[in-house]
Every structure is written in C-alpha cells, then in structure tokens.
Structure 1
C-alpha cells in the first residue's frame, strides 16, 4: 500500500487549522438569566383556525335557473279564431255556481261580482276579443285579422304565470249597484228547478247529458234561455258563440235531437245579445254592398262546378 507524503508547508497549515477548531469554545444553548422573556403574542395577520361547518358549494347550471313552467295543453276548436287552453287543473273556483264565466270587454274583467285579473291581462293582448273561463279550461277568442302566431305565446305565458304563482284567477266582490259585468255569473241555467214543467225538465236533461259535454270539448258552453211556443231558446258561449258553424250545430245537431226525443219541441233558436245583433246587421250590410259592387255577372261567374255554391 503506497503512502501519501505531504510537503512541510501543507502540514503546518493543516495543524494550525485543527488547533483553531479545538480552541474555540462551544456555544451554550441556554438563555442568560438577565434577559427578559418577551410574551408570546400572535401576529395580527395570523389567527388560530377555527372549526366551521363545511357546506359544499353547488354550481347551478343555467338551465336550472330558468323559470318554472307547467304543462298546458292547447286544443284547436271548430272556430279558427278560438283556442282552448287546458292547464290540467281546476280553474273555476268551487264557490261559483255557474260552470263558466265569459268576459267580453276589458270593463267586464273589473266589474262585480266576479272580476278576473287573468281575464284582464288576456284581454289586454292585441287582438283578443273574449275570454271564457270554464271549470278546467280557458278559451281565448281573437279577431280574424290577428294571427295566432302573435297572440298564442303571450296567452300561454300569462296563463302559465298565474297557474304557477298561485294568483287568484277570479275574485268575488259584492255587487252593490246591481251591475253585472260578466256573462254566466248566475246559477247554472241547466240546473234542475222544481218549478219547471215536465217538458222543460226533459229539455234540460238532454242538454246537460248529450249537448253540453260536446260543446265543452269544443271550448264553449250552452245556456238555456226558455221554451216558448215550441221553440227552445239557447245561447252559445265561448268558441261556439262566434263560430261560423254555430247555426249548423243548433239546427242539424241540437234541434234534430230534441225534436226526436221530445215531440213538443218544434225548433231551436239562438238568442243573440244586442251587440251581436248589431254586428250581424253590419255584416249583412257589408255583404250586400259587396254583392252590389261585384254585380250580377261577377256573382254568376263565381257559381260553377267545384264552387261551394254549386249544386249538381
């Protein structure tokens, strides 16, 4: 094994370094008694952690923040200007005896005895002319000049808002001045009355069991106005009131059935309100002016094979 030989100068420097390390006193890790101990204080920026109840932070997606909606079914009626909205729950309060209430003007939605905030908002839509609120459906009628594309979304939004929020659809206030603002606020005209004759009782029973369900399916209702000289006086409501086929419904449907079962019935007549009579008179004048403007040649030219007026 080979030995390492260091020069004398290197050996001297190494011995000096070693002796200096040995002569240096060791540090004492104790504190002198004359030093005052400073109290241990917490930094103002640091606080002892405290226990808090942990609650998970849930991020709600944008879709969940959307407004709640309910299922409202829309049904078409034989009247192209009337739609039936079914919210699948009761609409008319149980305190109202009549099976329907019809609002024909904005004033009627505020008048006693049954003002309706819902009908007021619906009649405020441009184009809406009447609102019929039934037991579990709402029929909205518009004018023929306004398309449903402009009316239907607003009607749906208003009905949805009332149904979800639980707002009162119809209120009841005392009618002190004798002002009746709505149609159909009295008791049900088809209800049994002990003062009715046998014939009237049979007419009401047939109307209640055979006619009313079909008319309510079409978004309307029916009123019995009397039986005079063999004629049954009826009033159509809702979608059936302004329907072009209402006359056909009365004559070919209701009249035929009543005359078949009750021999005392000789016919059925529709009772018109004053406003409806004026409207029908104005419409008749308008048709007469059109006929005169077209002339006999234009009128005869429209009657041909394939025309609605042609009879083979």
Structure 2
C-alpha cells in the first residue's frame, strides 16, 4: 500500500491519503487518545508532537505542534497507517461518534444545509471540517476542525468565504465566528 500525503494551508497539518475508506460515517476529530479506543488513532496521538487527528471519508489529517518538524514524524504516521490497513481492516471508523444537529429551527437548518453543501466539501479538500454550533442574534458560531483548526488563513476563510456566503443566502446572518 502506498500512503500519499498532501500539504494543507495549515503548515502544522498534513493530509494522509491511504487510498482506502477512512470514515464510514462522516468527519470526526480526536485530540485526546483517551477519548477513543481505535488503535490507529491512539497510536498516531501517541507520537511526540501530534496534537490531533481528523478522519475524513478518505483521508486522515494530522495536526502537530509548531516546534516539531514533519520530517521527524511523517514516516511514523505513514508506517502506522500501512500497518493498520495491512491487517485487513477496511476503515478506521464505522459508526458516527460525534454529536448530531437535532432540534434545529428553520434558519439553523438552512445554515447547516449551506455549510454541508457549499462549504464543507471545499474545507475537506484542505483536510478539515466546519461544524455548526449555534445561531443567536444574527451570529453563527462554528467549530473548525482538522487542518482548519489553528490554520493561519482560517480567519480570512471564515470571514471572506463562509460569512459572505451565509450572509448572501440568509439575510438573518450578520456574522460568523469560530469557537
């Protein structure tokens, strides 16, 4: 198996493409190894300098501390991914472990639909995700995950991309902020 890597706009995040299914249930972010029992994710989070793992449909984004160089850990991550899939495993996560947006009002449902259809696919290409958290008094609160978390360009993306798009489609939206 050949695991490819892609750089992301975040210099402290790298996207690993195993050429196989990663998540069968949508995006999922893990920052503490005690929060998950998955062997691969726990092993990656055990690498010195790794701060988080984000699982997409067909990729794994790994976030590292600024002081650690990719040359020091990239080969370890690739080796762990290879070992995991060589054991015959078909995917990393099979069930949705994250919370669902339930009991949303009409405007919140529209916000989530726009995020899902127009923004999340573009953010996923960069190894990240955006999740709706709250809408109150014209302000949409979102959570940036994966490569987007801590990315130097995420503020510009949030304001010029996400905010402009939501304000265009939904006049009720005045501002978008990351939490």
Q: 1 CA distance for matches of 2:144 and 2:30?
A: 14
The superposition leaves residues 1-46 of structure 1 with CA deviations (integer Å, 9 ceiling, x where unpaired) of: xxxxxxxxxxxxxxxxxxxxxxxxxxxxxxxxxxxxxxxxxxxxxx
Q: 2 CA distance for matches of 1:205 and 1:106?
A: 31
Q: 1 CA distance for matches of 2:42 and 2:84?
A: 12
Q: 1 CA distance for matches of 2:28 and 2:111?
A: 22
Paired position in structure 1 for 2:29: 102
Equivalent position to 1:121, from 39, 43, 68: 43
| 3-state SS in 2 of match to 1:130 | strand
RCO higher in structure (CA 8 A, sep ≥6): 2
TM-fit CA distance, 1:184: 6.0
Q: Tell me the TM-score normalised to structure 2 length.
A: 0.91
Paired position in structure 1 for 2:3: 72
Say if 2:121 is the partner of 1:229.
no
Kept after mapping to 2: 8 A contact 1:105/1:123: yes
Equivalent position to 1:202, from 91, 104, 110: 110
Kept after mapping to 1: 8 A contact 2:23/2:94: no
Q: Tell me the TM-score normalised to structure 1 length.
A: 0.54
**Structure 1 stretches lacking a partner, 5+ long:** 1-69, 110-114, 173-182, 272-312
TM-fit CA distance, 1:133: 1.3
Q: 1 CA distance for matches of 2:70 and 2:94?
A: 28
Paired position in structure 1 for 2:175: 267
Paired position in structure 1 for 2:85: 163
TM-fit CA distance, 1:170: 4.1
**Structure 2 stretches lacking a partner, 5+ long:** none
Paired position in structure 2 for 1:247: 155
The structure where strand makes up a greater share of residues is 2
Cα gap change, 1:184 to 1:238, in 2 (>3 Å)? farther
The superposition leaves residues 192-241 of structure 1 with CA deviations (integer Å, 9 ceiling, x where unpaired) of: x6x53332222122111110001100101111112100111110101101
